[in-house]
Amino acid sequence: MPQKDTSEIKQKIISAIEKRGPSLPIHISKEIEMSTLFTSAFLSELLSSKKIKITNMKVGNSPIYYLSGQEKQLEPFSEYLKNKEKEAFMLLKEKRFLKDKNQEPAIRVALRSIKDFAKSFQNNENELWWRYFLIPEEEFYSKKKEKANDEEGTEKKEETKPANNRQEESKNKEEKVEEKKHNIFDSDEKSKEVKKEDKTENSETKKKPSNKKEKPEFVKEVLDYLNKNNINTEQEISFKKKEYQAIIKVNSDIGPVDFFLLAKGKKKISTDDVIDVINEAKKQKLYGLLLYSEEIQNKAEDFARDNSQILKIKKIE
């Protein structure tokens, strides 16, 4: 008899979700007139038996429960996404497909967070792409095929131009070739003189000793810190007495990740310094890393913490 009652309750829950669409536990409990605690227990059982589905996102502290085929009804819940996640959602919905490496770091992080709405896949070149959850992956390849067919059609049109046009184009090309020949012969002597001058300058340049700029002590300290932490410098951008900029590669749990690095040797890091790193990192479409040698203002530290999705700060020790 208890088994029968349990089955009836589970069926009531499924019926409630069918009627309401994707729902929070509190709404389902009201629908079946049962406490939220017991309702959550039955929802857990239904989830285990794959009778219902659950979202990755949460409204407050509760996930959303839904049935297979109700995915489209999840769209209205996007209003509960956080700022950057909502921005990523709107961008993906508009573009339908996004190439991961072409996005700014904050959007790349957000796309990985909105698993209910952003679905990843790899194209034929093993590049990571994202598709809007309601758009089938097949559409990506059909669009590429259409584009290829359009380009092929354009080439065929070029090939089927009237014979007169082709002859005229050929004649114009021949005239241009002749004109170039004359220009070459006319400037032949000048070219020889220029080459002689170039050779003289090159030989003088080779004789000059290379004046490689010596790195300041602060920069050496930064490089030593990177070396101790097994961080590779991919591209050195610039350095001054108390500043160093570079593209670096940091090992992480998900593999090597490129960062834009700004190292500062000033007494106290300001909010402006943090903003500089974020802006430059966005331009480079990379995460940002700010290294500092002494202190950081409280406001600057708070600002960096607010932007921790795309920026890391570390003290050189």
In this structure, are residues 88 and 107 in contact, taking their beta carbons and an 8 Å threshold? yes
pLDDT, tens digit (0-9, with 9 covering 90-100), for 267-307: 999 988 888 888 888 888 888 999 999 899 988 888 888 88
What CATH fold (topology level) applies to the domain 81-139? Arc Repressor Mutant, subunit A (1.10.10)
In this predicted structure, what is the pLDDT of residue 272? 86
Q: Are strands 287-292 and 311-315 parallel, antiparallel or unpaired?
A: parallel
- Domain positions in the chain are 2-75, 81-139, 217-315
Q: Tell me, what amino acid is at 165? A: N
In this structure, are residues 70 and 54 in contact, taking their beta carbons and an 8 Å threshold? no
Tokens 């339908």 found at: 96
Instruction: Count the Cβ atoms, other than its own, within 10 Å of residue 93.
Output: 16
C-alpha distance from residue 80 to each of 17, 58, 60, 100, 193 (Å): 20, 8, 9, 24, 73
Tokens of 176: 């241009």
In this structure, are residues 242 and 264 in contact, taking their beta carbons and an 8 Å threshold? yes
* Order of strands, sheet of 118-122, starting from the edge strand that comes earlier in the sequence: 97-99, 128-132, 118-122
CATH architecture of 217-315: 3-Layer(aba) Sandwich (3.40)
In this predicted structure, what is the pLDDT of residue 179? 54
> What is the reported pTM?
0.49
Tokens of 263: 């190292």
Tokens of 96: 């339908």
In this predicted structure, what is the pLDDT of residue 50? 94
Strand ranges for the chain from DSSP E: 53-59, 62-66, 97-99, 118-122, 128-132, 232-240, 243-252, 255-264, 268-269, 287-292, 295-296, 311-315
Q: How many residues does the chain have?
A: 317
H-state helical runs in 49-136 = 83-95, 105-113
DSSP state of 293: S
2-75 and 81-139 in the same fold: yes
pLDDT above 70 covers a percentage of the chain that reads 77
In this structure, are residues 166 and 104 in contact, taking their beta carbons and an 8 Å threshold? no
What CATH fold (topology level) applies to the domain 2-75? Arc Repressor Mutant, subunit A (1.10.10)
Nearest partner of 276 among 292, 262, 266, judged by Cα = 262
Taking 50 as the pLDDT cut, the residues of the chain under it are 1-4, 181-191, 194, 204-211
pLDDT, tens digit (0-9, with 9 covering 90-100), for 154-181: 566 655 555 555 566 655 656 655 555 4
In this structure, are residues 100 and 126 in contact, taking their beta carbons and an 8 Å threshold? no
In this predicted structure, what is the pLDDT of residue 285? 85
Quick one: how far is CA 271 from the chain centroid?
Answer: 25
Cα distance between residue 225 and residue 68, in whole Å: 52
